Amino acid sequence: MRLYDDRLDVYLGASLQMTMPRGRARPNGKHGHVVDYRHVIHSLKRKPMALLGLVYRDKLFPRQAYSRAFEAMVAKLPARTACRNMVDLLALALAHDRACEGELAERITLDLDGGRLPDMKVLRALFMPDIAALPEIIVSYTSLSLYDELATVFTGVAA
């Protein structure tokens, strides 16, 4: 990890893996949070109610539409259901690396502007991968006797 004034660079060996903006403390002494929902979504899936009291919740949402959706859900649904639905929305935005975060935000905005809460069944049908479209992979296994045969062929050969 390399720290710069404005960013953090994350390396694996000599290869740059990602660059993230660096959060700075504000003049009033409060911490500057830089949060990417992709880093915490798996924890939120296990404990979705944590979203309700999360200090950096407003910075967690990738777009304004997600923030609006959460506010609407909290206003119209029980807190537990609202948190679960919001975590499901964030997980759907991340689902299978389909990069549908922007399209999903547009769909959420359409629902909210129409006075409706986002319907998870409809959104899943639209944005989850079609199982029938996934290729069938056939795996052929090698007989273990071939490994025994290889071992006998190379016996006595020094490297």
**92 has pLDDT over 80:** yes
Half-sphere exposure of 10 (CA within 13 A, CB side): 6
* 113 vs 95, more confident: 113
| Residue 104 near residue 94 (C-beta atoms within 8 A) | no
Instruction: Calculate the CA 6 to chain-centre distance.
Output: 24
- Write b or e for each residue in 60-89: b if 16 or more Cβ atoms lie within 10 A of its Cβ, otherwise e: bbbbebbbbbbebbbeeeeeeebbbbbbbb
Query: For the packed helices 37-46 and 79-94, what is the interaxial angle rounded to 10 degrees?
Result: 140
DSSP assignment letter at 139: -
Confirm whether pTM is higher than 0.85. no
Model confidence at 82, pLDDT cuts 50, 70, 90, reads very high
What's the token pair of residue 41? 């979504």
**pLDDT tens figures, 97-138:** 567 888 889 999 999 999 999 998 988 888 876 667 777 889
**pLDDT tens figures, 1-56:** 888 888 888 899 989 988 877 777 667 766 666 777 877 888 889 999 998 888 88
The amino acid sitting at 38 is: R
What ranges do the domains of the chain cover?
Answer: 1-34, 35-129
Query: How confident is the model over 65-76, as a mean pLDDT?
Result: 94
Return the bridge partners of 36, or none.
Answer: none
Query: How confident is the model over 85-104, as a mean pLDDT?
Result: 82
Q: Cα 146–148–152 angle (5° rounding)?
A: 115
